């Protein structure tokens, strides 16, 4: 079973708009990571946020973590067509075993 | 480029056959994990190897087995293939630790007919 669940399952926005994806998980974690996957290819690591951090930025990405609610969000600002992909949250709860959610499919309309 | 390579990229096998998938990790990465990703789903954890020993297993039957070698390569073996084994198989390598990044290969697309 999946540890995390992303919401929404699919998101379609206009180029230039911001995209927000949410992730909820079930158990306590060491960290939470976000990955991107283009069209059934390998996963690309985007950002890692530790359990004692609340917010982290990387370029156009902003990640928040609320351990009391067991949830995280990924914000992509000023979206581009090249951001079209599936985005997964993944939690690391014990000894580096990364468990993935079911993903959000993001489509950017030109 | 993640420095992790998987072979082959695509594979077609017949139900009941056996298959071996290979992964070459980054040098120095002592941990490798394998995942199965069905179409439209997130990757499911199969197992992890640390210093050539299995270090955790997901909800997969014993016909899924693995090996990790000292040269940072690893294998996933699946016996008695079933149609539902059709999926993208991903390996991920990392340095052991609680807050480390995993580097994924591009995957092997296995089709069982």
Residue-wise pLDDT tens digits, B58-92: 999 999 999 999 988 999 999 999 999 999 999 99
Dihedral of CA A80/A40/B106/A8: which sign?
A: positive
Cβ contact A45–B39 (<8 Å): no
What residues in chain B have their Cβ under 8 A from chain A's Cβ atoms?
Answer: 2, 4, 31, 33, 35, 39, 41-45, 48, 55-56, 59, 88, 90, 92, 94, 96-107, 109
Give the containing element (helix H, strand E) for B3: none
DSSP three-state, residue B85: helix
pLDDT at B6 over 50: yes
Burial A60-87, CB ≥16 within 10 A → b, else e: eebbbbeeeebbbbbebeebeeebbbbb
Average pLDDT over residues B30-57: 92
CB contact under 8 A, B98 and A101: no
Tell me the chain B residues in contact with residue A31 when contact means C-beta distances shorter than 8 Å: 98-99
Cβ contacts of residue A33 below 8 Å, gap of 6+?
Answer: A45, A46, A47, A48, A49, A89, A90, A91, A92, A98, B101, B102
Q: In chain A, at which residue ranges do the beta strands (DSSP E only) sit? A: 4-7, 10-14, 19-25, 31-37, 43-50, 55-58, 61-66, 71-76, 85-92, 98-100, 104-109
Q: Which residue has the higher pLDDT, B67 or A5?
A: B67
**pLDDT value of position A95:** 52
């Amino acid at each position: 079973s999946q540890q995390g669940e992303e919401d929404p399952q699919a998101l379609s926005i206009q180029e230039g708009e911001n995209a927000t994806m949410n992730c909820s998980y079930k158990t306590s974690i060491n960290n939470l990571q976000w990955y991107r996957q283009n069209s059934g290819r390998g996963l690309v690591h985007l950002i890692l946020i530790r359990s004692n951090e609340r917010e982290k930025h990387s370029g156009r990405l902003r990640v928040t973590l609320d351990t009391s609610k067991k949830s995280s969000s990924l914000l992509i600002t000023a979206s581009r067509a090249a951001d079209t992909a599936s985005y997964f949250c993944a939690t690391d709860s014990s000894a580096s075993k990364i468990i993935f959610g079911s993903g959000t499919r993001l489509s950017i309309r030109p | 480029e993640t420095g992790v390579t998987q072979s082959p990229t695509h594979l077609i096998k017949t139900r009941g056959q056996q298959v071996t998938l290979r992964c070459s990790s980054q040098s120095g990465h002592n941990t490798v994990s394998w995942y199965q990703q069905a179409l439209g789903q997130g990757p499911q954890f199969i197992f992890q190897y640390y210093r050539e020993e299995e270090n955790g297993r997901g909800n997969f039957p014993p016909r899924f087995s693995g090996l990790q070698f000292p040269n940072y390569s690893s294998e996933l073996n699946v016996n008695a293939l079933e149609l539902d084994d059709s999926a993208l198989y991903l390996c991920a390598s990392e340095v052991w630790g609680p807050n480390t990044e995993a580097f994924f290969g591009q995957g092997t697309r296995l089709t069982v007919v």
